[in-house]
């Protein structure tokens, strides 16, 4: 199973992000959606799970859950926007991965056998950080993530 992961769109779903996610069987959005239309665009590509971030204060985006646990091909994945707000011990809770955003900085690490993945920002560029999404290959053996930098100019 191929899972697309993005965060921090802040109202901007770039065509390059859509193209990178097109072959995915499920999409995870780790908050700061910024515009409910983005949710519909992502749902047109694949089943989608989204949470709210700190900019999702009004409308449909404000009604998104703050956290979510989703099972993908037998692996539990926990979504939250700001890793500082992690409210459980992922390994003890049986999570295979924690997906988060907020910092706009792509990051892949493992702790206690749990994948921690921040796809970076798929929306407007912040500082000199890359614009990116992530793809996770989900197999019976585990989760294999990779960051996909998006080729964008300027913002």
How far apart are the C-alpha atoms of 104 and 18, rounded to whole Å? Answer: 18
| Residue spans of the chain under pLDDT 70 | 154-155
pTM above 0.85, yes or no: yes
How far apart are the C-alpha atoms of 82 and 103, rounded to whole Å? Answer: 8
3-state secondary structure of 43: helix
Q: What is the pLDDT of residue 127?
A: 83
Q: What is the pLDDT of residue 153?
A: 79
The structural domains of the chain, ordered by start, are: 2-149 (3.60.21.10)
pLDDT in tens, 29-40: 999 999 999 999
């Amino acid at each position: 199973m191929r899972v697309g992961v993005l965060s921090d769109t802040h109202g901007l779903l770039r065509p390059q992000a859509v193209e990178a996610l097109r072959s995915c069987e499920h999409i995870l959005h780790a908050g700061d959606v910024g515009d409910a239309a983005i949710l519909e665009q992502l749902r047109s590509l694949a089943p989608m799970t989204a949470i709210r971030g700190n900019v999702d204060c009004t409308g449909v985006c404000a009604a998104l859950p703050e956290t979510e646990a989703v099972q993908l091909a037998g692996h539990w994945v926990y979504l939250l926007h700001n890793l500082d707000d992690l409210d459980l011990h992922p390994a003890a809770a049986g999570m295979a991965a924690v997906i988060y955003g907020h910092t706009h900085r792509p990051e892949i690490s493992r702790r206690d056998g749990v994948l921690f993945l921040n796809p970076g920002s798929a929306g407007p560029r912040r500082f000199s950080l890359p614009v990116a999404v992530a793809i996770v290959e989900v197999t019976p053996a585990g989760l294999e993530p990779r960051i996909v930098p998006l080729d964008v100019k300027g913002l």
